Structure 1
Amino acid sequence: MRLALLRADPALSRFDPLPRILSFDDFSRGHCGWSQLVGNYEDDLDTMLPGYAQHTSAMLSTLGHWDAGSHGGMGSSYALKVATRPVPGARNVAIKRHTFRKRGPIRFEMYFTFKPEASELKLSETDVRSVGFLFDLQGGDKDSHDDRVMPHLRFLNALDGQHLQKWQYKRETERIIPIGTDNKTISHYHLASENWLDLPGGSQRLCYNEVPTKVNWTYLCFDFDLESMTALGLRCNDRSFDLSGFDSIRIPAMKNLWCMLNFALFAETDVAKRAFLYVDSICISGDF
């Protein structure tokens, strides 16, 4: 009966959710809780680390373009748009903040696409450096797990003009830095360009259509276990990847982030041109 109900719903039948759906984000209904990742600060915004200071708000977009008007989303007129600044190496991040009520398997599914700003009459297939996602997790205040755990995955499309097309992950973050003078706030920029590792067998050629304004939607699914804080699987379109060697960024738990369950999306540009990550819809589900 449950499977029949899911398949009868055109919005949900494109996903393969676990038994309990935590959130279904159809961006024809608005931002659905996705907002700008603002860096930590105290007393003065200038205390924010530079990596975070470049971030701007996610937008709702019709995927407008100059030659035919707009694409719209996969199932409606709108998608979520994460856009970088037009500076080589610039990135932008959108975040959705939850807490969890029980530890167990969780599944993150989305339909996405990416393009650079179509400011030139050429394909520009190496202008977007990467797009990716991350979780930001921490156990409960009485939990034996005492780490903040941050699985990161990105599709490295290009670097310095070289078309690479491969999945990468991260185990290390930048140095943790005190913010302000009250000993209440610290920060670290975990999305820096350094310390990305190739996912074994992670090369993949994604659909990237023939002119700079055309897009095709790509399916992604990432499974993670909140009990063991380990990754269970990654799928992208017709490919499943081995995560047996995968690990997450792990740092000491922070004193006010108990039961944290955050999700983030990001884009990076490789050239002096804005890079766009578009997301049509996201389903976050669990078995708890």
Structure 2
Amino acid sequence: MDTETLVTALRRADPRLSRFNPLSRIYSHDEFLNGFCGWSQLVGNYEDTLDSMHPGYAQHLSPMLSTLGHWDAGSHGPLNDGHALKIATRPRRGAQNVALKRQTFREAGKIRFEAYFTFKPEACELQLSEADVRSVGFLFDLQSGDTASNPERVMPHLRFLNALDGEHIQKWQFKRDTAFRPIGDGTKTVTHYHLSPENWEDLPGGEQRLCYNEIPTKVNWTYLCFDFDLASMQALSFRCNDREFDLSGFESIHIPAMKNLWCMLNVCVFAETDTDKRAFLYMDSACISGDF
């Protein structure tokens, strides 16, 4: 048996890894039974005072570990035992929250992000409320290594626009534009709120109806997989459950490289509410892998 066949067999024999389809080397495999696994609050840049932080970032809260507790049956629980990572917005229409994992890459090759996720509004009404979550999504925040011939910072974004102003929409979108502004009186710190409502574009053929159960406390877990090439800084593929989407019309945010972010490989997940109640994004598990 060759090495590749043996590695594949070992992964498939492990029920926690066999649900994923990782590339040759696993960067991280996150389950939240014993902690946050490096996922933390996205804090905005500031200088001299916290009041200089962009209000988009100032609204963010720390992620939580959750058993998916609710009032009609106790706790739903994650896909497996233990806890899921919970990203909860504030109870204000349009509020967002983000969790991220900060790391760097050691070779500019192909990377893959896989996750099992679900989303719900806070179950504070005896109604399904399937259009109360505006969006959930993920992004990479990447920067070339310091020896790259044309270094840049690249941020592929994908969000599932579930609803807008009460209309149930259900489609994937991407973003290619953002705007920067300086912070304070110096030149060291700038900010940009790349999750602002502006400039989202529809992914061609990106309409998808996800499983959303019949009462406000039930959840069903959804699988996603996103491939990206760090050498060309291009998205390669994206699938959600049984659908693989055409990325020929997809583009990332491209901005000049920053002087202290070399080889950055950050991954973010986010949620947004469409009503004055909290939106919850839960992540049961995640796997980041690469070919190098």
Query: The TM-score by the shorter chain falls in which range?
Result: over 0.9
Alignment of 1:1-288 (within 5 A): 1-173=6-178, 175-288=179-292
Shift of 1:3: 1.1
Q: Note the C-alpha offset of 1:141.
A: 1.2
Tell me the secondary structure at the aligned position of residue 51 of structure 1: helix
Identity of aligned residues (%): 74
What TM-score results when the alignment is normalised by the length of structure 1? 0.99
Q: Distance in 2 between matches of 1:94 and 1:77?
A: 19
CA distance in 2, matches of 1:85, 1:145: 40
Residue type of the partner of 1:56?
L
1:193-228 CA deviation, whole Å, 9 max, x = no partner?
010000000000000000000000000000000000
Post-superposition Cα deviations, 1:68-90, rounded to whole Å, max 9, x if no partner, equal 00111101121000000000000
Amino acid at match of 2:215: V
How far apart, in 2, do the equivalents of 1:90 and 1:131 lie? 12
Q: Distance in 1 between matches of 2:175 and 2:148?
A: 25
Whole-angstrom distance in 2 between the partners of 1:172 and 1:178: 17
Q: Distance in 2 between matches of 1:70 and 1:46?
A: 38
SS at match of 1:5: helix
Gaps of 5+ in 2: 1-5
Q: CA RMSD in A?
A: 0.6
The separation in 1 between residues aligned to 2:16 and 2:150, in whole angstroms, is 36
More deviation, 24-33/272-281: 24-33
Distance between the aligned counterparts of 2:70 and 2:12, measured in 1?
33
Distance 2:254 2:105 in 1: 19
Could you tell me which residue of structure 1 aligns to residue 3 of structure 2?
Answer: none
Deviation for aligned residue 1:245: 1.0
Q: In the alignment, residue 260 of structure 1 is paired with which amino acid?
A: M
What stretches of structure 1 move > 4 A for 4+ residues in a row?
none
Q: CA separation in 2, counterparts of 1:181 and 1:44?
A: 12
Give the length in aligned residue pairs. Answer: 287
TM-score by length of 2: 0.97
Partner Cα distance (1:23, 1:29) in 2: 15
Residues 41-68 of structure 1, C-alpha deviations (whole Å, 9 max, x = no match): 0110000000000000000000000100
